[in-house]
A = this chain, B = another copy of it.
Amino acid sequence: MSRKRNVTFDDIAKYTGFSKTTISRYFNAPDSLTLENQETIAKALVDLDYKENKVARILANGKTEFIGVIVPNLKNHYYSEMLNQILQTYERFGYKFLVFIGNDDEKSERQYIQELLAYNIEGLIVLSFTLPSKELADLQIPIVTIEREDKYVCSVNTDNYMGGIQATSLLAKHNCDILIHINSPTAPEIPAYGRIQGFLDICEAKHLKHRIIYKALGNTYEQMQKSLSEILDELDTAYPNQKKGIFISSDTHANVFLNLLMKKYGTLPDDYLIVGFDDSPISREAVIPISTVGQQIDKLAFEAVSLLVEQMNEQKKRKPEPLTEPVHKVITPILLRRETTEKSH
């Protein structure tokens, strides 16, 4: 494990003809040198094979090419696929990613952010939702959030309202007797609340009989089974022989609901139509492929990194002009019609 000899200040001084004091100033207070002299020294660092030591170059110009990423977890397919797509932007932008798992713990997340700042990250992408956007904005570094409360920071989100409209319209087209939306309690400032609003607006505009069931659906498969089994029994009792159009908050939940129906009836009964959300793999791999509203995760990730790169490039200017208002981008979701709405219904 040989380590290359480091290039010394002496080497750089000899090569450039500057004094060692000048070289030292370049590393410690580059702005005290003229731009021209900075460039001469920067070029010398490259010529002297400093190129193999990015850490040294970073110290010289402050550009770490690091982006910090905080995801709540990687168990949920949505987050693992988002991270997948974020990491792949390396090919396009060259930024490297320092990744932390938040686990819904604000104290840890604050510590991770301090750690990231200590490494001079140039920007931060936040998918976790424990820290308010005000606190993130106060960090005074370029930030983009994805699908979380985003009042004070730039963000990229799915057009959840449009997704709610797509799902509800599909069920409406099948002439359901009642439309039912099942979701965990959701605060209006969360982007995903748009799904609920879209459902409500379509139902009211078209005068459709409808109902929203808010219930904490749980985090484990067993909890979801229990809470959705209770909902299923209640629906069977409340709306017998009525065609029920179910729009449910995620594909994971939709699959649990579908399996409960299969267990109870041996098949998906004709009076149940189901639409999920996300286009997770489970929606395709379910025993009956589940209709769903697909989030364009590749586009969300690409737009998030692009928006961050714009801000980071601005920071590198001599006189940066930071955004005066946070930018919020939305990506249209795509409706996928599969067998839980299109089969024999």
Contacts and interface: CB of A to CB of B under 8 A. Distances in A.
B20 A8 contact: no
B64 A74 contact: no
A119 B262 contact: no
Interface in A52-110: 52-56, 58-59, 62, 64, 73-75, 77, 80-81, 83-84, 87-88, 90-91, 96-101, 103, 108
Interface stretch (A183-191, A206-214, A282-290): A282-290
A334 interface: no
Interface residues of A, number: 68
A29 interface: yes
Contacts of A103: 88
A15 interface: no
Contacts of A58: 55
Contact of A120 (B53, B77, B84, B266): B53
B55 A119 contact: yes
A97 B267 CA distance: 46
Nearest to A28: B8
When all copies of this chain in the complex are counted, the total is 2
A53 B103 CA distance: 26
Interface in A259-296: 259, 262, 266-267, 281-282, 284-287
A81 B83 CA distance: 12
A238 interface: no
Interface string A114-129: 0101111000000000
Given A55-B55, A252-B285, A282-B282, A99 B99 contact: yes
A249 interface: no
Given A20-B21, A80-B84, A87-B99, 6 more contacts: A8-B24, A9-B28, A52-B117, A53-B118, A54-B118, A221-B285
Query: Nearest 3 CB-CB pairs, A to B?
Result: A80-B80, A287-B287, A74-B84
